Copies of this chain bind each other. A is one copy, B any other.
């Protein structure tokens, strides 16, 4: 079973204060790019894996999706999602993505934001996700970029010129990484970019878009503190389709 860190009191309190928790999709700087990777949503059946507070489910409903199913492991997040969702056609369900089996050939879009890097058996989930798409349907998802999950110490270094430099080691050694982000002992799974892509291909997907996301120069101009975030990518965004 996946670690249910989002129901940890300390983690939940910290996570609830992040801009993306307070402001929703508009508080997530990668959202404009992720949004550009989405198909038209009107009339579509949508599944959100790791829906959290339900921001994307509500967005999809607002865009005219016919049905939206949001899945999460966290009772605290689902409780808030249900409380704040007024849009019609949105249903939330508690499940562990390690074992969740969505209905076959039922969805036009399966979406997932920053959830897959918690999972041990991504091959299994990708297989079930592929089967759950209608032919022509698509998967659009984001994960922490492997350059972030790889290193033993996620601490900026300086090169000989004093330039901010991201430390990479352990990149080829996939598997568990324990970090102290918002709470102690948060367990993530490091995979290389090639592994993410090959898991998609092995599940039968065609890859349609790959983005190594970092703030745009315009976003850095608006938030000068983000300047070094352009030294390396922060999120990996992927779109793939079922033929």
Chain A contact residue count (CB 8 A cutoff): 39
A61 part of interface (Cβ distance < 8 Å):
no
Report the separation of the CA atoms of residues A125 and B97 in the bound assembly, to the nearest whole angstrom.
Answer: 42
A159 part of interface (Cβ distance < 8 Å):
yes
How many copies of this chain?
A: 2
A171 part of interface (Cβ distance < 8 Å):
yes
A124 contacts which chain B residues (CB < 8 A)?
none
User: Is there an interface contact between B165 and A159, defined as CB atoms closer than 8 Å?
Assistant: no
Report the separation of the CA atoms of residues A151 and B168 in the bound assembly, to the nearest whole angstrom.
Answer: 12
User: Is there an interface contact between B209 and A201, defined as CB atoms closer than 8 Å?
Assistant: yes
A1 contacts which chain B residues (CB < 8 A)?
none
Min CB distance A48 to B, Å, is: 24
- Given contacts A193-B212, A198-B209, A209-B201, are A151 and B170 in contact (CB under 8 A)? no
User: Is there an interface contact between B164 and A159, defined as CB atoms closer than 8 Å?
Assistant: no
Report the separation of the CA atoms of residues A207 and B196 in the bound assembly, to the nearest whole angstrom.
Answer: 13
Report the separation of the CA atoms of residues A163 and B159 in the bound assembly, to the nearest whole angstrom.
Answer: 15
Against B, the Cβ 8 Å flags (1 = close, 0 = not) of A163-176 are 11111111111000
User: Is there an interface contact between B168 and A166, defined as CB atoms closer than 8 Å?
Assistant: yes
Binds B, one of A85-93, A179-187, A228-236: A228-236
User: Is there an interface contact between B159 and A232, defined as CB atoms closer than 8 Å?
Assistant: no
A231 contacts which chain B residues (CB < 8 A)?
168-172
Q: Which of A167, A201, A208, A233 has the most CB of B within 10 A?
A: A167
CB contacts under 8 Å to B, within A200-238, are 201, 206-212, 214, 230-233
